Structure 1
Amino acid sequence: MEKLMILSILTLIAIFGSTGYFMLSKTKKSQKFMRAFLRLNLLIFIPVIVFGVITLVPQMASAAENAPQGGNGLGFLAAGLSTGLASIGAGLAVSQVGAAAIGAISEDETILGKTMIYLGLAEGIAIYGLIISIMILGRL
């Protein structure tokens, strides 16, 4: 079953890679070929995923019945959410600050140090989320 899921993920990567390649070459022939190739890949990918989900659901249900009944599930969820949401926030902050920093540096090269400080502060958001998740996991 794992091999089937790996095959479907590789098919998805092939879909996106080939679609990107054919989108960059802007000829009519490549666009027609891209559409046909995308249909073929989706016709392969979707049944593989559906088959994988159908065969994995009973395995997951039996694994859930045999799982220990501790109350740690919400703690793990909180730790994952704190890290994930902090990383998303850091990514948004770094994208905005980085774009502004590049624009500012292009006008005046002497402010490079100040812009690096701002980028470091934006990146610190992810570290705060990681520290909170470590503290949550320490209590479990």
Structure 2
Amino acid sequence: MYVVFALVVLAAVAIPFVLSLRSLKKTGSARKAVKVNLIAFAAVALLCAAAPFMASAAPAEDAAAPTTTSSQTAEGGMSDKGIGYIAAALAVGLSGIGGGISVAAAAPAAIGATSEDQKNFAKSLIFVALGEGIALYGLVVSILILFT
């Protein structure tokens, strides 16, 4: 089972990378290569997000005596841990994207303000740190999701 997870992780990284490199060589356009990379990544991410649902929909081995473990519900067998992992991944991923966007906007402005006047360094550093704090909040939320 661990081999399957390792192969899925390698596919999630390798497939978009290979497709974007192939697109870059064919067209020579970096914009088209980024679009291909994002589409391929979205397809692999959707497949990985759907995997827990597909695994829970698999038929039981012995239909006469179905068993439910502590991580399965009585209705359909959806794994609580699988949903928790998806929630934790979304918390970290989306907060990381939000933090990256805010730092991408604040850091150049901070550099410009500091280059004009050295006294603005402390103020601009605060704004950059606030943007990075968003990603840290997402990490804390995911830790709380995983360990509660």
What is residue 95 of structure 1 aligned with on the other side?
104
Output the CA distance in 1 between the equivalents of 2:24 and 2:138. Answer: 33
What is residue 34 of structure 1 aligned with on the other side?
none
- 2:80 maps to which of 71, 76, 79: 71
- Structure with larger Rg: 1
Output the CA distance in 1 between the equivalents of 2:96 and 2:89. Answer: 11
Relative contact order higher in (CA < 8 Å, ≥ 6 apart): 1
Structure 1 residues 87 and 7: alpha-carbon distance in aligned structure 2, compared to 1, 3 A threshold: closer
Structure 2 portions without partners, runs of 5+: 1-6, 61-71
Deviation at 1:92, TM superposition (A): 1.4
TM-score (norm 2): 0.53
Deviations 1:20-43 (A, max 9, x none): 8x459xxxxxxxxxxxxx9xxx9x
Structure 1 residues 81 and 17: alpha-carbon distance in aligned structure 2, compared to 1, 3 A threshold: same
Output the CA distance in 2 between the equivalents of 1:7 and 1:72. Answer: 27
Output aligned runs, 1:39-50, within 5 Å: none
% same residue: 37
Output aligned runs, 1:1-140, within 5 Å: 8-9=15-16, 11-18=18-25, 22=28, 64=55, 65=58, 69=77, 70-139=79-148
Output the CA distance in 1 between the equivalents of 2:116 and 2:101. Answer: 23
CA RMSD of aligned residues (A): 3.7
Output the CA distance in 2 between the equivalents of 1:18 and 1:112. Answer: 43
Deviation at 1:18, TM superposition (A): 3.4
What is residue 69 of structure 2 aligned with on the other side?
none
Structure 1 portions without partners, runs of 5+: 25-37, 43-48
